[in-house]
Chain A
Amino acid sequence: MADEMKTPLLDDLEKGRWPSFVTDLKQAAAKKASAKDLMGQLEKSYVDRIGHWKHGGIVGVKGYGGGVIGRYTDMPGDFPGVEHFHTIRVNQPSGWFYNTKALRELCEVWDKHGSGLTNFHGATGDIILLGTTTDHLQPCFDDLANIGFDLGGSGSALRTPSACVGPARCEWACFDSLDVCHTITNAFQSQLHRPMFPYKFKIKISGCSNDCVAAIARSDMSIIGTWKGNIRINQDEVRACAQGGMNIQAEVVDLCPTHCMGWDGTTLTLDDRECNRCMHCINLMPKALRQGVERGASILVGGKAPIVHGALLGWVAVPFIKLEPPYDELLEFINKVFDWWDENGKMRERLGELINRQGMGKFLKAMGLKPAPQMIKRPRANPYYFWREGVN
């Protein structure tokens, strides 16, 4: 290709105050022909208003069935540098914490083998290494392995689990979300690296119901922190919030969804039995209110984006579980879910869609879970129920 590549449409996106990805593209393009051709192709997409990547392609590294996404340009004549431009998904450390030594080593490996372009991070949580050729995949993985980075999930497999910042830097973590994420990821390496499920399976882990990793919306299994017992109130700090300008009645008490709070101008009262632990009041007054001391998590199942039969939010399957190492009960539950879904799920049927097809009752029975009102918003309104031996 010509040395003087013109990218006027992309150049326009270097203007403005938000950091520009075009600057990153140019930094990489200064060193790598692949990155330069990526820019050229992207400019062409901006002109044509359509993508220029061919459909998929199966590539990989030895021993794994996933972790690499094959990518090929549909214009290899114009952009030979991106004839192969595969993505490598690299499993991030829990909570996306890094020391700079690890990041610098990662950069070194990627400058050696790829385009020098990355995502921190992909939507599922992996570090994404954008663009390398087929012959570099194995050497790149070997070098990644040498610096302690393994691949993430892709295809009909367990996808890379991810977790919120957790107890590392949040007072609201009801369990060790980082350790749970690390433990699950290590316990299910084969399910992560070798696609053998009906479809993808996502696990996301949030330390409290603020749900910073959006587990409930986008994971087949959401592990969301919660507590039992009374919210701990520091009345002096409540009064300090009021003195600081917070309208406790309007902002806290009136917005409580269960109307379980009261405020007389000096003392905040809370009927904890009626609290549904939504986090609103605690979010507003982190110094004054703390969660109860008996902590654990709720497990919800079935959450997903629209493909195939519509989006679903996770449904409560396990209202409360204590989560402490070695997490045997949790791992056993995950195994049971995998087995049931694997045995009953059709091709490209996510867990939520399978539960929808077979009925929640069947799922609960297979899991050995006792039906409880915490699992539903409201009971059924139709009379079409079964009555047979062995129903829960």
Chain B
Amino acid sequence: MATRTDFGPPDYREMLPPVIKANYGKWLYHERPQPGVLKHVAESGDALYTVRVGSERLLSTDKVRELCDLAEKYCGGYLRFTSRHNIEFLVSDANLLAPLLGELKARGLPVGGTGHSITNIVHTQGWVHCHTPATDASGVVKAVMDELFDYFGTMDLPAYCRISLACCLNMCGAVHCSDIAILGIHRKPPQINHDIVKAKCEIPNVIAACPTGAIRPDPARKSLTVNEDRCMYCGNCYTMCPGMPVADSAGDGVSIWVGGKVSNTRGGPAFSRLVIPYLPNTPPRWPETVAAVKNIVEVWAKHARKHERMGEWIERIGWERFFELSGIPFAEQLIDDFTTAPETYRTTAAFKW
């Protein structure tokens, strides 16, 4: 049989439970009866309860089947996943809501992630399966979520707080617009393997891949040189060329960024800003990173006004006050010197002490 190609994804319409098919595009409003539970009401009067469950994202087929068992028992055999790796059970029979919540609790599957909670951390592959990581992903996320667990199942924070992790600057997780971003970074220039560069790499493409123009041809060796003063270890050259490895056991670690968001509410989308340029990779539980994230969450939770996201709070009080309240030392790396720098310098004589 000839291989079939380009037939596209399964039709989503086959994946929708009857209550959704019946009320598609006709939802009227929703409520949050309790943390982790949404109640959507349609024009028809039909109600759909969504139970949101935190997930480790890296799932065994056994775990997927466990989720299927639950979906078959309580949801007519339908479920969905969210853009933040959560699982959503779609309950159309209100009588099954309490038993589902009971069974989830018994199985240790956490319910939460709605409203002003800390929901699941969007993250990448890390050491589990990526070839350019500067840190692990699943392990850091597990350690941080264990520590912030109570915020997942409650909705008492001032506003939404989205935490994301990317294990290198490639940012498959696009963490750069998160309330708190955990980003793996390298701190050493690539260690050039001239034999590999010569044999396997397109020299002009590697040169063009460098954002700071640090890479130059080395015609004598049919290879490349790196101006180490200009290199900021982004690793893009390694992505292009296996002869430019940038990962380093002692150099690699984690950076922390705050104050970004994607929704258009109020002030609109914003980038996260660097506040901690480096924390070490300390498996299995990355205690420095966990403590830094927890501190930022707690300082924000204590001082922010209702509905004020991390970035909105910081912009109101001023970055100088943020560093004072958080106790985070102001590092020189926080002052931008890339092409985007001028817009970040203070252009007013009005500031706080």
> What are the residues of chain A within 8 A of B85 when measuring CB–CB?
120-121
Q: Are B31 and A21 in contact (CB under 8 A)?
A: no
Most chain-B CB neighbours within 10 Å: which of A71, A103, A224?
A103
* In the assembled complex, B292 has its CB within 8 A of some CB on chain A: no
Q: Which of A181-226 contact B (CB under 8 A)?
A: 182, 185-186, 189-190, 193, 209-218, 224
Q: Are A97 and B6 in contact (CB under 8 A)?
A: no
Q: Which of B163-184 contact A (CB under 8 A)?
A: 166, 169-174, 176-177
Which of B15, B110, B177 is within 8 Å of A99, CB to CB?
Answer: B15
Q: Are A27 and B242 in contact (CB under 8 A)?
A: no
Please, how many angstroms separate the alpha-carbon atoms of A186 and B10 in the complex? 10
Which of B56, B65, B250, B265 is within 8 Å of A210, CB to CB?
Answer: B265
Q: Are B211 and A308 in contact (CB under 8 A)?
A: yes
User: Given A20-B56, A92-B9, A110-B61: A171 and B3 within 8 A (CB)?
Assistant: no
User: Given A46-B139, A94-B12: A251 and B307 within 8 A (CB)?
Assistant: yes
Which of B12, B27, B123, B265 is within 8 Å of A278, CB to CB?
Answer: B265
Closest to B280 in A: A49
> What are the residues of chain A within 8 A of B136 when measuring CB–CB?
42, 45-46
Closest to A19 in B: B56
Q: Are B48 and A169 in contact (CB under 8 A)?
A: yes
* In the assembled complex, A362 has its CB within 8 A of some CB on chain B: no
Q: Which of B121-145 contact A (CB under 8 A)?
A: 122-133, 136, 138-139, 142-143, 145
Q: Are A305 and B171 in contact (CB under 8 A)?
A: yes
* In the assembled complex, B345 has its CB within 8 A of some CB on chain A: no
> What are the residues of chain A within 8 A of B81 when measuring CB–CB?
96, 98, 120-121
Q: Are B128 and A182 in contact (CB under 8 A)?
A: no
Nearest CB of chain A from residue B79's CB, rounded to whole Å: 6
> What are the residues of chain A within 8 A of B247 when measuring CB–CB?
50-51
Question: Which of these binds chain B: A57-65, A332-340, A365-373?
Answer: A57-65
* In the assembled complex, A17 has its CB within 8 A of some CB on chain B: yes
Q: Are B205 and A165 in contact (CB under 8 A)?
A: no
> What are the residues of chain A within 8 A of B12 when measuring CB–CB?
93-95, 97, 168, 178-179, 182
User: B48-85 CB contact bits vs A (8 Å, 1 = yes)?
Assistant: 10100011111111111101100110000111111101
Closest to A11 in B: B284
Nearest CB of chain B from residue A75's CB, rounded to whole Å: 13
Q: Are A189 and B8 in contact (CB under 8 A)?
A: yes
* In the assembled complex, A236 has its CB within 8 A of some CB on chain B: no
Closest to B43 in A: A171
Q: Are A21 and B208 in contact (CB under 8 A)?
A: no
Q: Are A165 and B80 in contact (CB under 8 A)?
A: yes
Nearest CB of chain A from residue B186's CB, rounded to whole Å: 11
Q: Are B58 and A25 in contact (CB under 8 A)?
A: yes
Q: Which of B1-20 contact A (CB under 8 A)?
A: 3-12, 14-16, 20
Please, how many angstroms separate the alpha-carbon atoms of A313 and B11 in the complex? 31
Q: Are B172 and A124 in contact (CB under 8 A)?
A: yes
Closest to A35 in B: B60
Nearest CB of chain A from residue B7's CB, rounded to whole Å: 5
Q: Are A53 and B130 in contact (CB under 8 A)?
A: yes
* In the assembled complex, A28 has its CB within 8 A of some CB on chain B: yes
Which of A121, A182, A216, A283 is within 8 Å of B9, CB to CB?
Answer: A182
Which of A116, A130, A306, A348 is within 8 Å of B171, CB to CB?
Answer: A306
Q: Are B267 and A310 in contact (CB under 8 A)?
A: no
Q: Which of A98-114 contact B (CB under 8 A)?
A: 98-104, 106-107, 110-111
> What are the residues of chain A within 8 A of B40 when measuring CB–CB?
169-171
Q: Are B59 and A118 in contact (CB under 8 A)?
A: yes
Q: Are B64 and A118 in contact (CB under 8 A)?
A: yes
Q: Are B7 and A214 in contact (CB under 8 A)?
A: no
Nearest CB of chain B from residue A124's CB, rounded to whole Å: 7
* In the assembled complex, A311 has its CB within 8 A of some CB on chain B: yes
> What are the residues of chain A within 8 A of B78 when measuring CB–CB?
97-100
User: Given A24-B56, A217-B176: A307 and B234 within 8 A (CB)?
Assistant: yes
Please, how many angstroms separate the alpha-carbon atoms of A343 and B347 in the complex? 40
> What are the residues of chain A within 8 A of B72 when measuring CB–CB?
100
Please, how many angstroms separate the alpha-carbon atoms of A158 and B48 in the complex? 35
* In the assembled complex, B281 has its CB within 8 A of some CB on chain A: yes
Nearest CB of chain B from residue A60's CB, rounded to whole Å: 12
Q: Are A62 and B3 in contact (CB under 8 A)?
A: yes
Which of A97, A123, A131, A138 is within 8 Å of B16, CB to CB?
Answer: A97
Q: Are A87 and B61 in contact (CB under 8 A)?
A: no
> What are the residues of chain A within 8 A of B29 when measuring CB–CB?
171, 286-287, 290
Q: Are A17 and B131 in contact (CB under 8 A)?
A: no
* In the assembled complex, A346 has its CB within 8 A of some CB on chain B: yes
Closest to B260 in A: A217
Please, how many angstroms separate the alpha-carbon atoms of A305 and B177 in the complex? 9
Nearest CB of chain A from residue B33's CB, rounded to whole Å: 13
Q: Are A18 and B9 in contact (CB under 8 A)?
A: no
> What are the residues of chain A within 8 A of B219 when measuring CB–CB?
none
Most chain-B CB neighbours within 10 Å: which of A224, A257, A313?
A313
* In the assembled complex, A379 has its CB within 8 A of some CB on chain B: no
17 contacts between A and B (CB under 8 A): A18-B146, A19-B54, A21-B128, A21-B139, A42-B127, A56-B242, A85-B129, A116-B61, A118-B59, A119-B125, A150-B6, A168-B24, A210-B264, A213-B83, A255-B307, A287-B31, A305-B174
The 3 closest A-B CB pairs, nearest first, are: A218-B174, A16-B146, A55-B242
Q: Using a CB–CB distance below 8 Å, which chain A residues touch chain B?
A: 9-10, 12-13, 15-25, 27-28, 35, 38, 42, 45-56, 61-64, 71, 85, 87, 91-104, 106-107, 110-111, 116-125, 130-131, 138, 141-142, 145, 148-150, 162, 164-165, 167-171, 173, 176, 178-179, 182, 185-186, 189-190, 193, 209-218, 224, 250-251, 255, 257, 277-280, 283-284, 286-287, 290, 305-311, 313, 346-348
Q: A24-B63, A96-B81 are in contact. List 17 more A-B contacts (CB 8 A).
A: A12-B285, A17-B149, A21-B56, A24-B62, A48-B249, A50-B248, A51-B132, A53-B131, A63-B6, A96-B83, A97-B15, A103-B65, A150-B7, A182-B11, A182-B12, A214-B83, A305-B176
